[in-house]
Amino acid sequence: MNLRIACICVGLLILVPSARAADVLTVAVFDFESKDEAVRDLGPKVASLINAQLSADPHVITVERAELEKALGEQEIGLSGTIDPETAAKVGHLTGAKVLVTGRVFNVGRETMIVAKVIGTETSRVYGDVVRGTTGSASVADMSADMAARIAKIVTEKANTLVARVEKPEDLIARLQPQVQGKKLPIVSVVIAERHVGSPTIDPAAETEVGFILQKLGFTVADKKDPLAKADIEITGEAFSEFGMRKGNLVSCKGRVEMKAIDKTTGNVLFIDRQTSVAVDLSEHLAGKTALQDAAAKLTERMLPKLVSK
């Protein structure tokens, strides 16, 4: 009997993930500034070492450097430089990162200093920390590892202030309701093609989320399968999700939704935008759908004023 109970307990432990999806945050590490001649080349190296250390933490999923460069390539944002709250929000918008890490490496007297800033892209909350080492004798690798551990601690302990509170669907509807109160709402149609890279998509999460929110707000959503259905505004777009990485029992996926709203009477484009989101779950497909759902909800909120002012 004791052996049986022990086996059951072991089986349950295997099923318990090492970290819950809600506890895992997506972090983007920017090159640290290192303008002083004595530490000229250390900034990017420190950032790379911190990124590598953080990638091993079960509570953190790091944005790959190549993805970060690609996402920011067409923007006036480099991999290094000053990151203010507005810029942080823009980076989060483009990459899906919830937290940004940036900082400086410099010498003060006989000490080498690594100063880091941890910024929440949704809340603009900023935390900082410092690691000191004696110039010439301190190992940059050891200092970077120490800083990475400090950053991981901040991300874990301050997650509730770095990331916006997860909003329930009914809370989102209640928050948006005043924007449509007492207004004549147009009939809308929603068609958003969707795919998960490497497999077909049967039930489109982005299209469903947009239609759900608008219908709950009082819009009439035309049936796309009805050829006689007339819509005042046509909402179209494309969405795709793809596998990010696996950490223990958890899987991360990135989703991107591009959306456009057109006035059918005039042909004018009322709204056009895109959103990237990252989600973590026990299943790749669930993570992909959650990422797309989150991106679609954010786009719908930004689109709403354009629909009611039509």
Q: CATH no. for residue 193?
A: 3.30.160.150
Among 70, 71, 83, 66, CA closest to 128: 83
Q: Is residue 259 part of a domain?
A: yes
Question: Are 106 and 85 contained in the same domain?
Answer: yes
Q: Is residue 202 part of a domain?
A: yes
Asked which of 127, 162, 197 is the last residue of a domain, the reply is 162
Q: Is residue 10 part of a domain?
A: no
Highest mean pLDDT among 23-32, 137-146, 205-214: 205-214
Question: Are 132 and 219 contained in the same domain?
Answer: no
Mean pLDDT check: name the lowest of 220-234, 255-269, 291-305: 220-234
Mean pLDDT of the chain: 84
pTM metric for this prediction: 0.68
| pLDDT top residue among 199 and 119 | 119
Mean pLDDT for 97-108 is 91
* pLDDT value for 165: 80
Among 144, 165, 122, 115, CA closest to 45: 144
* Cα 104 from Cα 302, distance rounded (Å): 35
| pLDDT top residue among 118 and 280 | 118
* Cα 248 from Cα 252, distance rounded (Å): 11
Mean pLDDT for 50-71 is 84
* Cα 217 from Cα 215, distance rounded (Å): 5
Asked which of 162, 185, 212 is the last residue of a domain, the reply is 162
Mean pLDDT for 247-269 is 90
Highest mean pLDDT among 82-91, 148-157, 228-237: 148-157
Question: Are 129 and 246 contained in the same domain?
Answer: no
* pLDDT value for 18: 45
Question: Are 174 and 304 contained in the same domain?
Answer: yes
The CA-based angle 68-304-21, given to 5 degrees, is: 45
* Cα 29 from Cα 303, distance rounded (Å): 30
Mean pLDDT for 219-237 is 87
Question: Are 153 and 232 contained in the same domain?
Answer: no
* pLDDT value for 12: 35
* pLDDT value for 249: 73
Asked which of 162, 191, 226 is the last residue of a domain, the reply is 162
Q: Is residue 8 part of a domain?
A: no
The token pair at 203 is: 């039930």
Q: Which ranges of the chain would DSSP assign to H, the alpha helix?
A: 2-15, 42-55, 65-72, 85-95, 140-157, 159-162, 169-180, 205-216, 284-308
| pLDDT top residue among 239 and 15 | 239
Tell me: pLDDT of 22 over 80. no
3-state secondary structure of 262: strand
Mean pLDDT for 163-181 is 90
Q: Determine the structural domain holding residue 301 and report its residue range.
A: 169-308
Question: Are 181 and 142 contained in the same domain?
Answer: no
What proportion of the chain, given as a percentage, has pLDDT over 90?
Answer: 50
In eight-state DSSP terms, residue 282 is S
Question: Are 46 and 87 contained in the same domain?
Answer: yes
Q: Is residue 11 part of a domain?
A: no
| pLDDT top residue among 135 and 259 | 259
Question: Are 181 and 198 contained in the same domain?
Answer: yes
Q: Is residue 244 part of a domain?
A: yes
The token pair at 257 is: 């939704």
**How many domains are contained in the chain?**
2
* pLDDT value for 205: 94
